[in-house]
Amino acid sequence: MKKRIRSLRGIVSMVRLVRDPDRLDEVFALADAMANDEILSQLAAAFAEDPRGARALVERPRIGRVDLQALRSLPEGTLGRTFAEHMIANGLDPAALPSLESHDAASFVRAHLYETHDVWHAVTGFKTDVAGELGLQAFGLAQFPSRLGALLIAGGLLHAAISRFDDRDARMREIVRGWLLGKRARKLFGMRWGEMWSRPIDEIRRELGLDLAAIEAELPARELVLEVPAAA
């Protein structure tokens, strides 16, 4: 019975997200609906294939309390400064997010992905608009078997087809960028971000294989102009 109710809640959230992909509350609701033991165990098994991920599942490191003003005072170009500016610019407060329990590997997977989502935004360079969120979901899908990411991408494209067809290029471009970046980068799961705030973000990106400029150079221009041959 509980499984059916959870599935129904997930369907309702998905429908609402297709109507309005900016509904963060429905993203959380969909994530909760999909956070069953089977899916979380599959994710844990996938993360355990990477040495860092396997270690993280045992040690279960958490970010801990985040002081945005303290991070904002760090030198420009550090991970902490970049993260703080990302959060402040988008009106986000890490203290407003509930801290999920982490009592075993499966619950740690959910808690870790939940609390590091915006750090991933900062290091990958994806914005928080719909296109940017879809790009980050594509990045995650390339790194691990994210059923939630696949659903959110599908919902975002369906919303574009129904209501925002003019945004299709931006969304597809970020999805492609996220997929390529995620496939080429080292696994981000299990990174101890809370111990890295004062490090230069460019240095961290190099270590993780996050070559943002190289991926950007491979993508077509944002405004693609087709040349039509002149009539003979």
Q: Which residue has the tokens 């740690």?
A: 108
Give per-residue pLDDT as tens, 127-171: 999 999 999 999 999 999 999 999 999 999 999 999 999 999 999
Exposure pattern of 130-159 as b/e (b: 16+ CB <10 Å)? Answer: bbbbbbbbbbbbbbbebebbebbbebbbeb
Domain ranges of the chain: 2-218
Q: Can you give the pLDDT at residue 232?
A: 46
d(CA 13, CA 31): 9
Question: What is the per-residue pLDDT for 32?
Answer: 87
Flag whether the pTM goes above 0.85. yes
pLDDT digits (tens, 9 = 90+) for 60-109: 999 989 999 999 999 999 999 999 999 999 999 988 777 889 999 999 99
pLDDT of 226 > 70? The answer is no
3-state secondary structure of 92: coil
